[in-house]
Amino acid sequence: MSTIIKKLELMTFQIGQYSFGVDINDIQEINCHARMSKVPVDYEAVAGVINLRGEVLTVIALGRMLGIKSSGTEAVGSNYVVIKTLNQRVAIAVDKLKDVETIPASELQPLPANFKLNNQHVLTGLVQKNEGLLLVLNSSHLTQLGLLSLAVA
């Protein structure tokens, strides 16, 4: 009898010097052509909005939200990872798209107690890799943030 090993399939991307992963089942699309528009919201994590086939989506500046320096995710021509959970969608502006990685679920570790980032509640945990840490995002927290942020405007 074989043992089933649960695996995580993560779409990975980079913001600044940090690598992030999000469950591929929560990704609706990768978009490199949308043009972002700035919006007057009083929430630092919102970079603006994009129009995807008639639907306006909040663009989250994840680097800003977590307090890390980005190399330009708010510039025109950014790459966007569109995340969908239930009926909610939000886009994350990313510096660099990477790849889909399959990782054993047992490698996902909770964030250490001394690991401090702004708004780290959007992180599920981390995976230690040879090339550094992969921070795993909680998609449902990000989509809720997208709805709440536009309501503040």
57-83 pLDDT, tens digit per residue, is 989 888 888 888 766 555 545 789 999
**Residue 22 vs residue 76, higher pLDDT:** 22
Q: Give the burial class of 55: count Cβ atoms within 10 A of its Cβ; 0-12 exposed, 13-18 middle, 19 or more buried.
A: exposed
User: Model pTM?
Assistant: 0.83
pLDDT digits (tens, 9 = 90+) for 84-105: 987 788 999 998 999 999 999 9
* Whole-number pLDDT of residue 118: 78
**Is 121's pLDDT higher than 80?**
yes
User: Which helix (H) or strand (E) is 145 found in, with range?
Assistant: helix 139-151
Is residue 32 classed as helix, strand or coil in its secondary structure? Answer: coil
Of residues 54, 38, 35, 65, the one with CA closest to residue 144: 65
User: Where along the chain do its domains lie?
Assistant: 7-151
- Domain 7-151, CATH: 2.40.50.180
**10: confidence class by pLDDT, cuts 50, 70, 90:** very high
* Cα 72 to Cα 143: distance, rounded to the nearest angstrom: 22
Q: Are strands 79-85 and 88-94 parallel, antiparallel or unpaired?
A: antiparallel
List the Cα angle 52/144/87 in 5-degree steps: 55
HSE (CB half, 13 Å, CA atoms) of 103? 25
